[in-house]
Structure 1
Amino acid sequence: MIPKLPLADWVERLVDGLESRLSVLFDIISTVIEGIVNLFSAIFHLPPALLLIVILSAIAFWFARWPLALFTFVGLLLIDNLGYWEHTMDTLALVMTSAIISIALGVPLGIICARDNRAQSVLVPLLDFMQTMPAFVYLIPAVTFFGLGVVPGVIASVIFAVPPTIRLTNLGIRQVPADLVEAADAFGSTPGQKLFKVQLPQAVPSIMAGINQTIMLALSMVVIASMIGAQGIGADVYRAVTQIKTGQGFEAGLSIVILAIMLDRLTQHFIKRKKRKGE
């Protein structure tokens, strides 16, 4: 009989080694992420709820006209009426931070994949691993490295949410028509000029679709992140589950749904607008 591989021990040793050798780096990352979350939270909490609702409704009207604007206005008013406004803004701050970090990592990695087949062959299996590993598993090393609170929640959200941005950035650049690329080469464009003036503008709809999926996946992590101390609506859902309060859980879950629909429709209409400009 083949003896069991001590895989768990290997992983434990790896995590312990990283924790002891890179503790200063983890402290810096934690400080930066916490600062970004606090900045977004302060911005979202600064104006009165009604004023911010009007601003977000106006943004929705700009991108998608009155149906989404009306949904945004009524939905956010309902969240405020139910008493979840403060927690909704905390959740939005967490999601925005996770999305920005995911975009900052995902778009450059997608560009690298599109320009180098060897990098793609290495990253694609890693992305498969990141997307198929249960999200709860990411909480364990995140807590080990960063402790409890919002930072490990953001880290776990980024790991879970970044693959779509990488994949669709890579796909969008690779699907740029060959004749456009050949024309850029014929006019003597440098690789940088070809990338920024031809390939990326053509790939914007695909990249935005990846960003849309990243935002949705980050939002789906808010309840899981609440298990390790991340504040927001997820904490209300988790509390309702542990105390078996069906009504409170429905209210908090409805707030997450309203926020998800609003963000999804805004990014979807932004993608459509970019496609119309590109035609």
Structure 2
Amino acid sequence: MNSSSSIVGQFAENFVNFLFLHFQGGFNAFSAGLGAVVKLLEDGIGAIPFVVMLVVLVAFALWRRGVLFAIFVGLSLLLINYMHLWPQTASTLALVIAATVFSLIIGVPLGIWGARNKRVEVILRSLLDFMQTMPAFVYLIPAVILFGLGRVPAVIATVVFAMPPVVRLTTLGIRQVREELLEAGRAFGSTDSQLLWKIQLPNAMPSIMAGVNQTIMMSLSMVVIASMIGAGGLGEYVLSGIQRLDIGIGFEGGLGVVLLAIVLDRLTETFGKSKKKKARSVAKAAKSGANDAAAST
């Protein structure tokens, strides 16, 4: 039996093979550039001594969440280091940061475009549904064929899997901006770009930050799957435990992923709350300005 048992499967296989045969040079160049960025990020995080990273993250947690969470962050990092998993954690953190940044670079503009164009929003919604419901393992096949093994296809597959939340929540946040704020901006002669940057994005920022938080969480959920194609990090440690049926190794790697996920989730969550307060102040200022303009007329 052929690997592709239907016309649909044959079409997908032929399409990927066409891309590989005719655009291999472009994919190799893109892979080299993206690989260099990920490697630089991983080497940069790995070069930071554990003690320095511990102090920085605990201080950051103390600033954003308070004493109790700062203690939790300190104990979590000490436990990870005690299990000799800090190098793997740094590698996983680099992959998550790279995937999140690329998801934002692609996803936020798409979300803005979808919020401003109803047809684009309908197309994006269908595409995002496809990206979220397609099993993550399926992304690995064309990624490996086009980009080979290693961190590059892992980052690309993670971006495809983790980008939908930031696109959806960017569109939702911009659409939920109150009409009176936009009318106040137009009354003061704001252009479309000024409305976007001065009113829509500041008020939509809590929703966008919620999308960033979800993207980070979905990136972490791809850690073990991405390790199957050479992503390394904590996922590779968990995968090693699965292959060897070693409960201890699997539990330690899984615990490292959980602790990293909790730390990143709670820290990024605070930015959404602070942006929400700022958005309220912007809305209040715009509303008072509109009232003053109405009173003067």
Do the two structures share a fold, i.e. TM-score over 0.5?
yes
Q: Is the 8 A contact 2:205 2:279 kept in 1?
A: no
1:36 paired residue number: 37
Q: Which amino acid aligns with 1:159?
A: V
Once the 2 structures are TM-superposed, how far is the Cα of residue 272 of structure 1 from its aligned partner? 1.1
1:278 paired residue number: 279
Q: Is the 8 A contact 1:33 1:97 kept in 2?
A: no
Q: Which amino acid aligns with 1:214?
A: T
1:80 paired residue number: 81
1:47-126 equivalences under 5 Å are 47-126=48-127
2:211 paired residue number: 210
Separation in 2, partners of 1:214, 1:22? 29
Q: Which amino acid aligns with 1:239?
A: S
Larger radius of gyration: 2
Separation in 2, partners of 1:225, 1:5? 28
Separation in 2, partners of 1:107, 1:32? 22
Separation in 1, partners of 2:232, 2:47? 18
1:231 partnered with 2:232: yes
Q: Is the 8 A contact 1:60 1:69 kept in 2?
A: yes
1:109-258 equivalences under 5 Å are 109-258=110-259
Q: Which amino acid aligns with 2:247?
A: T
Instruction: Tell me the SS of whatever aligns to 2:200.
Output: helix
Q: Which amino acid aligns with 1:56?
A: L
Which is further off, 247-256 or 61-70? 61-70
Q: Is the 8 A contact 1:219 1:260 kept in 2?
A: yes
Once the 2 structures are TM-superposed, how far is the Cα of residue 5 of structure 1 from its aligned partner? 4.5
Equivalenced residues, count = 276
1:16-27 equivalences under 5 Å are 16-27=17-28
Q: Which amino acid aligns with 2:184?
A: A
Which 5+ residue runs of structure 2 have no aligned equivalent?
Answer: 281-297
Q: Is the 8 A contact 2:104 2:212 kept in 1?
A: yes
Q: Could you give the per-residue CA deviations for residues 184-209 of structure 1, whole angstroms, max 9, x where no partner exists?
A: 11222111000000000000000000
Stretches (4+) displaced over 6 A: none
Which is further off, 204-213 or 265-274? 265-274
Q: Could you give the per-residue CA deviations for residues 79-133 of structure 1, whole angstroms, max 9, x where no partner exists?
A: 0000000000000000000000000000000000001001001110000000000
Which 5+ residue runs of structure 1 have no aligned equivalent?
Answer: none
Separation in 1, partners of 2:50, 2:229? 28
RMSD after superposition: 1.0
Question: What TM-score, normalized to structure 2?
Answer: 0.91
